[in-house]
């Protein structure tokens, strides 16, 4: 009887990986297990489970977990991160406030908090360091302009609604 060889490949999707998809930082973990000469399904399953256990016990922290720990250490919240992304995209404090439904002053306070967390003096330094740290992935001008156009349209619709 011929000995059968199996190669089983699968992609692990966990919460950290899904968070990366939303942040547009895609990282895929591939675990490859080669099973030689086993015809029993139970034995193959046991080998797979052992390999999965070994993988999860030895893998380094994912990039998302590292980023989340970094944000937590600096005291940066999700709203702060939204403000940071909008700053990096070139939105003004007024535009960011309209996006997040907060005042311009609140956005300026968050900007000051971010500057202190990064120990920098200017927004340019803040943007540069956030890109280096992986907190922001630059977008195309077209994507940013489309977002600005959408905001302008929402503002106009709200204005028309108030006038009625």
CATH class held by domain 75-163: mainly alpha
- Tokens linked to 39: 């015809």
Please count the other Cβ atoms lying within 10 Å of the Cβ belonging to residue 42.
Answer: 8
Beta carbons of 62 and 16 less than 8 angstroms apart:
yes
Arithmetic mean of pLDDT, 63-90: 85
Q: Taking the domains of the chain in order of start, what are their residue ranges?
A: 5-62, 75-163
Q: For 89-116, write each residue's pLDDT tens digit.
A: 999 999 899 889 899 999 999 999 999 9
Among 86, 145, 141, 139, which residue's Cα sits nearest to residue 111?
Answer: 86
SS3 breakdown of the chain: % helix, strand, coil, rounded to 5?
Answer: 65, 10, 25
Task: List the one residue out of 14, 55, 53 whose CA is nearest residue 31.
Answer: 55
User: What CA–CA distance (Å, rounded) separates 58 from 5?
Assistant: 26
77-91 per-position pLDDT tens digit = 989 999 999 999 999
Residue 121 — very low, low, confident or very high, per pLDDT cuts 50/70/90?
very high
């Amino acid at each position: 009887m011929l000995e059968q060889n199996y190669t089983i490949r699968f992609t692990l999707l966990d919460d950290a990986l899904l968070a990366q998809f939303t942040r547009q930082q895609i990282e895929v973990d591939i675990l490859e297990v080669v099973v030689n000469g086993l015809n029993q399904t139970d034995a193959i399953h046991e080998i797979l489970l052992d390999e999965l256990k070994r993988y999860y016990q030895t893998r380094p922290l994912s990039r998302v977990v590292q980023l989340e720990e970094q944000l937590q250490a600096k005291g940066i919240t999700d709203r702060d991160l939204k403000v940071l992304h909008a700053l990096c995209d070139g939105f003004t404090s007024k535009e960011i406030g309209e996006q997040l439904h907060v005042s311009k002053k609140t956005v300026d306070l968050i900007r000051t908090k971010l500057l202190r967390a990064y120990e920098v003096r200017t927004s340019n330094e803040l943007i540069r360091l956030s890109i280096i740290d992986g907190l922001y992935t630059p977008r195309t001008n077209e994507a940013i302009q489309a977002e600005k156009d959408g905001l302008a349209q929402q503002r106009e619709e709200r204005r028309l609604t108030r006038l009625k």
